A = this chain, B = another copy of it.
Amino acid sequence: MNTTSNKQYSSSSSLASSALQVLEARWVVPVLPQGMVLEHYSVVTSDNCILAILPQEQARAQYPSARIVDLNEHVLIPGLINLHTHAAMSLMRGFADDKPLMQWLQQHIWPAEKHFVSELFVRQGTLLGCAEMLAGGTTCFSDMYFFPQSVAEAAVQAGMRANIGLLVMELLSNYACDAEDYLQKGLQARDSWRDNELLSASLAPHAPYTVSNATFEQIITYAEQLGLNIHMHLHETRIEIEESLKQYGIRPLQRLESLGLLGPSLVAAHGVYLTEAEMTSLARHSCHIAHCPTSNLKLASGIAPVDALVKAGVNVVLGTDGAASNNRQDMFAEMRLAALLAKGASGDAESVPAAQALAMATINAAKALGQDNKLGSLEAGKYADIVAVDLSAVEIQPCYDVISHLVYSAGREHVSHVWIAGELKYQKLQGQAGIYADIEPAELKEISTEWQTRLSQYLA
């Protein structure tokens, strides 16, 4: 399955091992129950799963032959889950800044995509995005882009868990010519990775303004038949809502509701403009909002009413959006900004406390994917998708509250180990450069140099 698993590096002999191991940590934050911090505990993993979470001494006694990983200045958390990105857009990081969404899309991003997007662009761009996400403690991402097959190939190489959106829209692109073509190509791509336990798929109608009612109806049918979730942009800007009112006489969410699209399988990215009634409706239908605070600010889309969404009972998760509108795929930055922004925008300093921001990036996200039985918290029986964060750095001393530290003080640069399904996929030991189990730095360098040259020539 993993075509490059034999490419290991000098100091990575211990990487990607999945035998019985005891991760002996200064702190464990299992996320469930929310707010819990275990001190001097071990997480025991076997193959791809968590076997037990025990006091350190008990774990050593119970598993005397297990390999011990010493993490005595570290906190273990569940792998972070990025619920809205376009990973291949890593190649367009900082390509067009300081521009509003529609101008940014229509005058910069879409023309460049028309010029460059191909299977190769998507596979290589996604690999670069995976490398960024992995090093920053993200173990799973929900993607939406052209050529989903190429997204899958990159995720497989990186060893990441992914929910891959099968993009559908009415617009011609280098990938497909009409909605039917998108749908068929997407479903065909999905068939190729159905046996890979790290990969799942969602139907990804791009947005209300690029998808017709007829296509939405078809998507609902497929989603029900195949048990897929639905991932789309929704209520990202005021213009989107105004244009829907002009074209359909109703707001986009109302249109989706009347089509029967609202339900627990819907993950709607952004949700910046929502009335109280709409929030109630989202909650009643158990929909999920993928909050993308950085992207919403950067494109001046606005500030999503996260405090009100949470109070209405909507499951809020976090996304980075693509690197062209962020310009990072950094879930630590999104957790921090989500916690800060909810306070500033609502006027309530108790809104989205640190533990809730962490839940949005883990267990809430697992729920949105319908995979909270296997992901999103550190519990026996769940997949061993685990991140170690080293809290010993000078710039984050002293530490009174580990969960606060994860959200407000630490950053992706403090991530030291990333396990996915029990395998160590990334490691950065103190004072050393980070290494990946299955990605060669030279390959990443080649990818970024090649595309930077080509896109720079296009910009010139």
On A, residues with C-beta under 8 Å from B are 90-91, 93-95, 97-101, 103-104, 128, 131-132, 135-136, 294, 296-303, 326-328, 330, 337, 340-341, 343-351, 353-354, 394-401, 404-405, 408-409, 411-413, 430-433, 441, 444-445, 448-449, 451-452, 455-456, 459
Contacts and interface: CB of A to CB of B under 8 A. Distances in A.
Given A131-B394, A394-B444, A344 B93 contact: no
Considering the complex of A and B, which 4 residue pairs feature the smallest CB-CB distances, nearest first?
A: A297-B344, A398-B452, A397-B448, A300-B349
Contacts of A300: 343-344, 346-349, 351
Given A94-B404, A399-B94, A303 B345 contact: yes
Q: Looking at A128, A353, A401, A408, which has the most chain B CB atoms within 10 Å of its CB?
A: A408
A98 B347 CA distance: 12
Contacts of A449: 398
A408 B350 contact: no
Contacts of A399: 93-94, 452
A259 B95 CA distance: 50
B394 A441 contact: yes
20 contacts: A91-B398, A93-B400, A93-B409, A94-B400, A94-B408, A97-B353, A97-B354, A98-B350, A98-B353, A100-B348, A100-B349, A100-B350, A131-B395, A135-B395, A299-B349, A300-B343, A300-B349, A302-B347, A327-B405, A411-B411
Contacts of A398: 91, 93, 448-449, 451-452, 455
Nearest to A272: B344
Number of copies: 2
Contacts of A430: 433
In this complex, the member of A90, A326, A330, A409 whose beta carbon has the largest number of chain B beta carbons within 10 angstroms is: A409
A354 B98 contact: yes
B347 A93 contact: no
B327 A409 contact: yes
Contacts of A330: 395
Contacts of A441: 394
Given A400-B455, A430-B433, 9 more contacts: A93-B409, A99-B349, A99-B350, A128-B394, A131-B395, A297-B340, A326-B408, A400-B459, A431-B433
